[in-house]
């Protein structure tokens, strides 16, 4: 499935220049550099309407899509550096989504509601959650937020044009060994809902827009059956992982979370978790929801989190720290376990392995005593806040942003808040909005993120002390959450009905893309091979007998590198149906029933293959079909050239 951006614009009917843009992108997290380019393009196209202050770039937080687009070095490493093609594709698609939203602006009505989705998530760090005060935990039925909040968009005639929902669940339904681009459970949910409304529209060409946005996702997991040891031949094989450390035989590698479709496939789990969210949205879309009334407002500023001093409500002076990753960061999670001898839940002052104490200084600078004390009790593995070569490893400055639409306030967060962090954040900001007279008792606050800047995790101080993955990845130290509460609370007055201007700001982060490096090689050339042409069929479909629902139709073609042309707003494949003597495209690479797999067969010769698969869905009409492959080849000298390949015709009965 392709990754997409879905844009939502809300303008004040009494003053249409007052508007906010919420972008729900099928990406892993928001990024300062990508957002900077999006803001630049939109502010040039629509001067005075869309600005750095009123545009929010949020993510569905999928983990099965493209990487390398973030401008800080640490998240680039797994992609072998910065991948400009990825960043530009995200920017272009997102700008296009906003332009389409802008072109479709019309008077309408908004309404708001919430429902419970019990089976859609699980806490993957319950031992850390239990560190929170018992009296606080007693206020909640679950150790996860089960609420799905939905904002319905109706036109002036009361017809639904779309919705924007918020529900906390990690985009890790598809396992980490996946090599196909996908948009995980929230992208799947959007497809399922949109296709149910407009079943004949190709994905991306629908007029009804279903937004499934992320919320306080930090310690959530879609792998709702729990985490188990996959250790063939060991006595603990098949048993639940260790509760405190998520280990199997004292190692993390074999501890894996299992989704609800575990016995079938991770793709089945992905669809099930998506369907839970779809069902929740449909429940709300079928109800009479609370009207949203009031002005449209926004506030944005930058905050430098390195050694930021502030005062807690009890009068204690505290400070945040320059970024650092703890040892348990390398231990990974049950959604994606780490390697070597790192484990979760290490808050000891002594290293898990003295070898890493020696080696880590060759990766990032050793922390000084001030940083050690500030980050305590986190044992520092990567001192990223002091790593500046070849450019910044982690952000020091983050976006602070809130959007107000009537009685609804969206806290646009630059990180992954855990369940309890999100609860404290929402509660504190709602209380502040009411106490300052910005909103009344009907104030409704939601969290969206990770958005704008990716500043990793936000655990509560109590969870931080346990130092599981989420605490170890809370890069600014144990007072990160309280710093956010303090800052967001201090600027709520800018959301008041009569408020003007924007608050003072720390300097914006410096653009790093000009310094970016990449170890990925470009496409040198493509070759079809002796006696072959691009698009030739190497392995054809079955023509001797009809296919039926549930069967996989497969064809292999002489291919070319897909990086030659990402085919934005297009497709690498079609499933065509013969209708009245004409071929009609009925599936593309945006349908979950199709897969496109490219494989290099010889780097020296430049040859490759493309495998196209279509698993026939129930209810597919009988008839004649074919598979079509769209590619682009690059010669050693000359221009990139498009080509098309077709399988033989086949029938479905």
Q: Express each pLDDT in 26-56 by its tens digit.
A: 999 999 999 999 999 999 999 999 999 999 9
What gap in Å lies between CA 549 and CA 543, rounded to an integer? Answer: 16
pLDDT at 352: 57
- Mean pLDDT calculated for residue range 594-598: 98
- Mean pLDDT calculated for residue range 216-230: 98
pLDDT band at 292 (very low <50, low <70, confident <90, very high): very high
Question: 156 in helix, strand or coil?
Answer: coil
What gap in Å lies between CA 296 and CA 214, rounded to an integer? Answer: 22
- Mean pLDDT calculated for residue range 253-276: 97
Whether 653 is catalytic is no
Instruction: Report the DSSP pairing between strands 607-615 and 552-558.
Output: antiparallel
pLDDT at 7: 98
What gap in Å lies between CA 214 and CA 224, rounded to an integer? Answer: 17
Report phi then psi at 126, rounded to 5: -65, -30
Query: Length of the chain, please?
Result: 653
Q: Which two tokens stand for residue 273?
A: 């978790």
pLDDT at 353: 62
Q: Express each pLDDT in 497-507 by its tens digit.
A: 999 999 999 99
Mean pLDDT of the chain: 96
- pLDDT > 90 in the chain, percent: 95
- Mean pLDDT calculated for residue range 46-75: 97
- pLDDT over threshold 60, residue 461: yes
What gap in Å lies between CA 552 and CA 576, rounded to an integer? Answer: 15
Q: Please tell me the least confidently modeled range out of 73-77, 94-98, 612-616.
A: 73-77
- pLDDT over threshold 90, residue 531: yes
pLDDT at 338: 86
What gap in Å lies between CA 499 and CA 298, rounded to an integer? Answer: 10
Q: Express each pLDDT in 344-374 by its tens digit.
A: 987 765 555 666 777 788 899 999 999 999 9
What gap in Å lies between CA 395 and CA 512, rounded to an integer? Answer: 11
What gap in Å lies between CA 397 and CA 508, rounded to an integer? Answer: 7
What gap in Å lies between CA 443 and CA 431, rounded to an integer? Answer: 9
Model confidence, pTM: 0.96
- Catalytic: which of 111, 221, 489, 590? 221
pLDDT at 362: 85
Q: Express each pLDDT in 393-452 by its tens digit.
A: 999 999 999 999 999 999 999 999 999 999 999 999 999 999 999 999 999 999 999 999
pLDDT at 489: 98
388, 424 Cβ separation under 8 angstroms: no
- pLDDT over threshold 90, residue 650: yes
């Amino acid at each position: 499935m392709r990754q997409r951006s879905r844009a939502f614009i809300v303008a004040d009917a009494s003053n249409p220049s007052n508007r906010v843009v919420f972008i729900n992108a099928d990406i892993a997290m928001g990024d300062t550099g990508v957002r900077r380019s999006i803001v630049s393009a939109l502010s040039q196209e629509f001067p005075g309407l869309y600005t750095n202050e009123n545009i929010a770039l949020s993510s569905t937080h999928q983990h099965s899509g493209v990487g390398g687009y973030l401008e800080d070095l640490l998240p680039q490493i797994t992609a072998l550096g910065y991948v400009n093609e990825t960043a530009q594709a995200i920017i272009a698609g997102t700008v296009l989504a906003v332009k389409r939203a802008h072109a479709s602006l019309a008077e309408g009505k908004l309404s708001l509601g919430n429902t419970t989705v019990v089976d859609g998530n699980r806490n993957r760090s319950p031992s850390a959650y239990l560190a929170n005060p018992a009296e606080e935990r007693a206020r909640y039925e679950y150790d996860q937020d089960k609420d799905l909040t939905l904002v319905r968009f109706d036109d002036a005639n009361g017809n639904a044009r779309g919705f924007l929902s918020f529900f906390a669940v990690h985009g890790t339904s598809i396992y980490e060994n996946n090599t196909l681009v996908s948009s995980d459970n929230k992208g799947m949910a959007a497809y399922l809902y949109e296709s149910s409304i407009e079943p004949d529209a190709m994905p991306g060409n629908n007029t009804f827009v279903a937004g499934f946005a992320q919320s306080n996702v930090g310690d959530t997991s879609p792998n709702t059956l729990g985490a188990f040891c996959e250790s063939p031949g060991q006595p603990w094989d098949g048993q639940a992982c260790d509760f405190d450390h998520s280990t199997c035989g004292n190692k993390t590698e074999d501890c894996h979370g299992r989704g609800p479709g575990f016995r079938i496939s991770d793709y089945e789990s992905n669809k099930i978790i998506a369907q839970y969210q779809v069902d929740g949205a449909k429940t709300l879309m079928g109800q009479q929801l609370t009207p949203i009334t009031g002005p449209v407002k926004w506030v944005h500023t930058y905050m430098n989190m390195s050694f930021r001093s502030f005062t807690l409500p009890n009068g204690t002076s505290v400070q945040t720290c320059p970024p650092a990753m703890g040892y348990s960061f390398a231990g990974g999670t049950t959604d994606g376990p780490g390697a070597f001898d790192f484990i979760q839940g290490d808050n000891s002052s002594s290293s898990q392995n003295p070898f890493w104490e020696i080696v880590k200084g060759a990766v990032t600078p050793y922390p000084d005593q001030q940083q050690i004390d500030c980050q305590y009790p986190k044992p520092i593995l990567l001192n990223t806040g002091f790593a500046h070569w070849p450019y910044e490893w982690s952000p020091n400055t983050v976006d602070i942003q809130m959007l107000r639409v009537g009685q609804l306030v969206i806290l646009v967060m630059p990180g992954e808040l855990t369940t309890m962090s999100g609860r404290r954040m929402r509660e504190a900001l709602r209380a502040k909005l009411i106490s300052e007279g910005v909103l009344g008792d009907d104030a409704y606050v939601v969290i969206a993120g990770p958005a704008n800047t990716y500043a990793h995790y936000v655990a509560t101080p109590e969870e931080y002390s346990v130092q599981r993955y989420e605490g170890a990845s809370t890069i600014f130290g144990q007072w990160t959450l309280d710093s956010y509460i303090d800052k967001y609370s201090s600027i709520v007055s800018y959301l008041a009905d009569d408020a003007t201007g924007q608050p003072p700001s720390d300097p914006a982060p410096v653009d790093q893309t000009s310094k970016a490096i990449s170890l990925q090689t470009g496409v040198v050339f493509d070759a079809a091979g002796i006696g072959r042409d691009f698009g030739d069929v190497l392995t054809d479909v079955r023509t001797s007998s009809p296919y039926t629902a549930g069967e996989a139709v497969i064809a292999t073609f002489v291919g070319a590198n897909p990086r030659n042309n990402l085919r934005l707003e297009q497709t690498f494949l079609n499933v065509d149906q013969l209708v009245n003597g004409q071929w009609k495209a009925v599936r593309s690479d945006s349908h979950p029933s199709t897969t496109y797999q490219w494989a290099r067969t010889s780097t020296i010769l430049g040859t490759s293959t493309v495998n196209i698969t279509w698993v026939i869905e129930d209810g597919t009409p009988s008839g004649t079909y074919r598979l079509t492959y769209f590619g682009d080849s690059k010669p050693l000298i000359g221009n990139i050239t498009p080509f098309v390949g077709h399988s033989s015709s086949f029938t479905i009965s």
